[in-house]
Amino acid sequence: MTATSIGSGPGRALIALYGLFSLAAGARAGVQIATRFAEAPLAYALSAFAALVYILLTVALWRGARRLALVALGIELAGVLIIGTLSLLDAAAFPDETVWSAYGRGYLFIPLVLPLVGLYWLWRRR
């Protein structure tokens, strides 16, 4: 099995989803940062960070960079769990939602499920 095989079959769906999330999170963060950054700088910066992680994952999966994808998936999962928990415990610190707030509630909890699916796919394909 070659390294690029992680982007074949169902792996293509992962690449497409991460590409879509890159665009969605990046566009949302870009608009928020450009128009109202002072209202919730932490939330908007975290959304931009999430978009960068999604871009990294899209490229890593597409290029077959398994180790990079594993590291990025770990960062994503940690981000979703940490930011998700903090946003529920201290809502005042997050006056507006991030991609990862409340475990991705604003994105139908896909940000919580997607790294788990990605990790499963990569471990299955090794």
Q: For 16-29, how does the pLDDT look when each residue is reduced to its tens digit (9 = 90+)?
A: 999 999 999 999 99
Question: What pLDDT, on a 0 to 100 scale, did the predictor assign at position 1?
Answer: 41
E-strand spans in the chain?
Answer: none
pTM of the model: 0.89
Counting every residue written for the chain, the total comes to 126
Q: For 47-89, how does the pLDDT look when each residue is reduced to its tens digit (9 = 90+)?
A: 999 999 999 999 999 999 999 999 999 999 999 999 999 999 9
